[in-house]
Amino acid sequence: MSEGLVQIGAGRGEPPQPRREGRPEWLRIKLATPARYHQVRGLVERLKLNTVCEEARCPNIYECWGEHGTATFMILGDVCTRRCGFCAVTTGRPLAGVDAEEPAHVAEAVRTMGLKHAVITSVDRDDLADGGARHFAAVIEAVHEACPGCAVEVLTPDFQGVDEAVDVVLEAHPEVFSHNMETVPRLYRQARPGSRYTRSLDLLAEASRRCDAGSYVGRIKTGLMVGLGETPGELRATIRDIRQCGVEILTIGQYLQPTRQHLPVDRWVHPDEFAAYRGFALELGFAHCEAGPLVRSSYHAHEHVTV
pLDDT score for 82: 95
Structural domain includes residue 284: yes
Structural domain includes residue 297: yes
Structural domain includes residue 3: no
Among 297, 84, 81, 80, CA closest to 188: 84
Mean pLDDT value of segment 52-71: 51
Q: What is the CATH number of the domain that holds 55?
A: 3.20.20.70
Give the pLDDT confidence of 249-262 residue by residue, as tens digits: 999 999 988 888 89
pLDDT exceeds cutoff 50 at 1: no
Mean pLDDT for the chain overall = 82
Structural domain includes residue 160: yes
CA dist., res. 58 & res. 115, Å (int): 20
pTM over 0.85: no
Give SS3 for 249: strand
pLDDT score for 102: 93
Structural domain includes residue 215: yes
Structural domain includes residue 146: yes
Range of the domain at 231: 30-303
H/E segment holding residue 178:
strand 176-178
Give the pLDDT confidence of 199-228 residue by residue, as tens digits: 999 999 999 999 988 889 899 999 999 999
| Angle between helical axes of 232-244 and 271-284 (0-180°, round to 10) | 30
CB of 188 closer than 8 Å to CB of 208: no
Give the pLDDT confidence of 157-215 residue by residue, as tens digits: 999 998 899 999 999 999 999 999 999 999 999 999 999 999 999 999 999 999 988 88
Structural domain includes residue 115: yes
Mean pLDDT value of segment 109-115: 83
Instruction: Assign residue 290 a region (left: φ > 0; alpha: ψ between -120 and 50; beta: otherwise).
Output: beta
Structural domain includes residue 270: yes
How many domains does the chain divide into?
Answer: 1
